[in-house]
A = this chain, B = another copy of it.
Amino acid sequence: MEQPLILITNDDGITAPGIAALVLSMKSLGKVIVVAPDSPQSGMGHAITMNHPLRLEKVSIFDGVEAYQCSGTPADCVKLAVDKVMHRRPDLLVSGINHGSNSSINVIYSGTMSAAVEGAIEGIAAIGISVNDYNFDADFTAAMHYAKLIATKVLENGLPVGTLLNVNLPKGVLSEIKGLKICRQAKAKWVEEFDERTDPHNRKYYWLSGKFINNDKGDDTDEWAIENGFVSVVPTQFDLTAHHAIATLNTWNF
């Protein structure tokens, strides 16, 4: 049987340690191809590049692994990979390992997760994986272990149609992790506190800044899992329809 074809991307850029760790952990599962941004793309959400052309360049970064850097967003990388790089549809897409958590509402802002969502839209089994540690030299050994474990299960079982996985790990080493929980996205949000400054020309500017507020007390959420030492796995979808609200709106008598 042909070995699985695995597309790897991220949003921290192709030189980030997290993607190197992911490549290492996936190499034993199949043929790996990397198409990742040539610069950091955190917080890019599901941006795509329509008004500028994209560059795609072959690079030798990962030992024995075909790799390309792309001038676009994470979603662009997946689109270009599928249309121009891969010789056939990949069996699996893994995005990460992200330096920082993409749990709860962060799934919306995350370039890591948008790459995985783009894969799922393309019909590819897709996983986004992140560690709750923003340090450049974060310890990825636990994430490598769980990436391999989860990818193996996904290759064996497939994923339900229209779903992908959002995997988040607590900061720390493998021996400290208590296990893995299937979770829902916590109802948490950022409260903005823009930092207002004045430039040397006496014009104001603003830095985005904020506090993360989690008022969701459920013990079945991704935030609960991470805070309590578990790996969270949230099945995630790109059908944004609030199906439960259709009946309500139908009573409005437009």
Residue ranges of A at the interface with B (Cβ–Cβ < 8 Å): 40, 42-51, 53-56, 73, 75-76, 79-80, 82-84, 105, 107-109, 114, 117, 121-122, 149-150, 153, 157, 159-160, 162-163, 166, 179-180, 182, 184-185, 187, 189, 192-194, 196-197, 203-208, 233-246, 248-250, 252, 254
Contacts and interface: CB of A to CB of B under 8 A. Distances in A.
Contacts of A55: 203-206
Task: Give the secondary structure class of A's interface.
Answer: mixed
Q: Which 6 A-B pairs have the closest CB atoms?
A: A45-B46, A235-B245, A53-B205, A237-B242, A235-B242, A45-B45
A189 B47 contact: no
B43 A47 contact: yes
A200 B82 CA distance: 26
Given A43-B47, A235-B245, 18 more contacts: A42-B51, A43-B49, A44-B45, A44-B47, A45-B46, A45-B48, A50-B208, A53-B207, A55-B205, A79-B194, A80-B192, A157-B252, A162-B242, A184-B239, A233-B249, A235-B243, A235-B248, A236-B241
18 contacts: A43-B49, A44-B45, A44-B47, A46-B109, A46-B114, A49-B208, A54-B205, A55-B204, A56-B204, A83-B192, A83-B194, A108-B121, A153-B254, A160-B248, A163-B245, A185-B241, A237-B240, A237-B245
